[in-house]
Amino acid sequence: MGKPTGFIEYGRVNCPAVSPEERIRNFQEFHPPLSLEERQRQGARCMDCGVPFCQSGMTLNGMVSGCPLHNLAPEWNDLIYTGNWEQAYRRLNKTNCFPEFTGRVCPALCEAACTCGLNGDPVTIRDNERAVIEAAFAAGKVKACPPGVRTNKKVAVIGSGPSGLAAAVMLNHRGHQVTVYERSDRPGGLLMYGIPNMKLEKEIVMRRIRLMEEEGVTFLTGVNVGKDVKAQKILADYDAVVLACGASSPRDIKAPGRKAKGIYFAVDFLKATTKSLLDSNLADGKYISAKDKHVVVIGGGDTGNDCVGTAIRHGCASVVQLEMMPKLPETRTEANPWPEWPRVCKTDYGQEEAIAVFGRDPRRYETTVKEFAADEEGKIKKVITVRLEQKKNPKTGRMEMVPIAGSEEELEADLVLIAAGFLGCEPYVAQAFGIETDSRGNAAARPDAYQTSVEKVFACGDMRRGQSLVVWAIREGREAARAVDLKLMGYTNL
């Protein structure tokens, strides 16, 4: 603890944000870094707690508190303060394969558990993490490190999202020959096409992919395993297979009129925009445009917010975001004490932009879709909504959101985006490999071994645990790699 009074002397300073009015003109990241001096002061705010909850990754009251990767945040916060950036990178790299991703898109479970946040503002751990890795890249410290010895074992990783990449990088470092299969035209999975460019610029993803290729990982894109290539061939050609295909079966909205034209899943909307942006800076027109349209987004989570921000950048005429649940309180309640994850209302970047452009928060709480209405040509023209209220189900005793009679409203809509979450992995992948799935449609695999019902096949990330965070995907990929290595070699040093 280089600065014992740092948390007293210095206040929290976040990375500045480009104003909503300016940043909606493009799809670029909009949080420029702090000065070196200010970043070092932010590192000095860390208290080096005797019990560092920030790195605990434990479950409290059904919610995770602290970093699932157990990042050594107090150590590299202190190294930031003392200006030892190279050593800070070494400590960060011990637990996190891809801090350049989590430093941008992670909701910062670490900060929610920071002791400074108990009676003040938490340390800027996520921004500090991003500063460390970007400083390392800028200084040329992040270099390809191919393994000195190969094991002659071959592993196929199906899917190149964060869990697949994490598994691949760890297994390759161990000396196994790793081939990553990706059905899209670019590697990166969720990182490439699920997260908009303004949150994670795609050159950041490709920078890491190129590094992995230099280290010996092979990427095969445009190959849909289970369709283009049979699972039996993969099983015959490789000593082990890691399924990291994500939870890519979107939850649909079953309401009358669902087949109207102009209703899309959020994942298709976001992917089309990013692909067109990368291919032609949107000049090819091969995306689902929201320009001059009245947009209704169904779903109040991060994906829904990404749809709001993307639609505004397209130039939509209006945007409304429907959320089934009640609005959360502005501050923690007594039932949600530190260091639990704070169940409080958060206004994210997309909502901030909607407020700046349209003068109001786009979210409508305790509201769902009752019916979709189409015009004579079958195109969506209105969404009929209904208000909801919480009531206890007399049969189950659980609280449920039920419609309020007579509370229907009509919303003008030219484009509807369904961002209601995901139901598990796509069935064809699991069926192709003959693995069992659980009641939620996820690949059934023990969390301690990550092995499926098929001996050579392992599963990790969203495909195993369901829709989750990038930081959890990285942890799962790392642990699955350890399980594979143990299976192949009889011991592991991962």
396's CB contacts (< 8 A; 6+ apart) are none
137's CB contacts (< 8 A; 6+ apart) are 100, 207
Specify the pLDDT at position 58. Answer: 92
CATH top class, domain 263-418: alpha beta
pLDDT values of the chain reduced to their tens digit, one per residue, 494 residues: 678 899 999 999 999 999 999 999 999 999 999 999 999 999 999 998 888 999 999 999 989 999 999 999 999 999 999 999 999 999 999 999 999 999 999 999 999 999 999 889 999 999 999 999 999 999 999 999 999 999 999 999 999 999 999 999 999 999 999 999 999 999 999 999 999 999 999 999 999 999 999 999 999 999 999 999 999 999 999 999 999 999 989 999 999 999 999 999 999 999 999 999 999 999 999 999 999 999 999 999 999 999 999 999 999 999 999 999 999 999 999 999 999 999 999 999 999 999 999 999 999 999 999 999 999 999 999 999 999 999 988 888 898 999 999 999 999 999 999 999 998 899 999 999 999 999 999 999 987 889 999 999 999 999 999 999 999 999 999 999 999 999 999 999 99
Kindly report the CA angle at 57 between 64 and 114, in degrees rounded to 5?
90
Which of the following CATH numbers is that of domain 6-138: 3.60.21.10, 3.30.70.20, 1.10.357.10, 1.10.1060.10? 1.10.1060.10
Specify the pLDDT at position 1. Answer: 63
The full set of domain ranges for the chain reads 6-138, 154-248+423-489, 263-418
Q: How far is CA 163 from its chain centroid?
A: 11
> In this structure, what is the dihedral angle of CA atoms 119, 330, 29, 10, given to the nearest 10 degrees?
-20
What gap in Å lies between CA 38 and CA 47, rounded to an integer?
Answer: 17
Which of the following CATH numbers is that of domain 154-248+423-489: 2.40.50.100, 3.90.245.10, 3.40.710.10, 3.50.50.60? 3.50.50.60
Q: Among 50, 51, 138, 125, which residue's Cα sits nearest to residue 95?
A: 125
Number of residues written out for the chain: 494
User: Token match 């009889």: residue?
Assistant: 490
Common-topology check for domains 6-138 and 263-418: no
Evaluate whether 102 touches 474 at the Cβ level (below 8 Å): yes
Query: Could you report the per-residue pLDDT of 391-437, keeping only the tens digit for each?
Result: 988 888 898 999 999 999 999 999 999 999 998 899 999 999 999 99
Q: Where do the H-state alpha helices sit in 315-454?
A: 349-358, 427-433
pTM value? 0.96
